Amino acid sequence: MPHVICEPCIGVKDQSCVEVCPVECIYDGGDQFYIHPEECIDCGACVPACPVNAIYPEEDVPEQWKSYIEKNRKLAGLE
C-alpha cells in the first residue's frame, strides 16, 4: 500500500488531496477519504496537500494509527 490516510482526516475531508492526485485514486470512504493502493502511482503529491497531515507512506504510519492501513485496504475492497 503506497500511502495511507489516517485518523486526522475523519470529520475534515478537505479534498485538497483529491484535487492534486494525478491518477484520481483517492475516494470518499464515508467518514474519511482512502487511497486505492492498486491505482496509486506513489507520487506523494497528496502528502503535502493534506492540511491535517493525515497521509503517510505505509512504512511511516504512526503506531497509534496502524489500524488505518487495514481500514484503507477494506475501503478499497481488497479485504
Which residues make up each annotated binding site? Answer: 9, 17, 21, 40, 43, 46, 50
Binding residues for [3Fe-4S] cluster: 9, 17, 50
In Å, what is the CA distance from 15 to each residue of 20, 28, 45, 50, 64? 9, 9, 13, 8, 23
The DSSP secondary structure of 7-46, one letter per residue, reads GGGTTT---HHHHH-TT--EEE-SSSEEE-TTT-----TH
Binding residues for [4Fe-4S] cluster: 21, 40, 43, 46
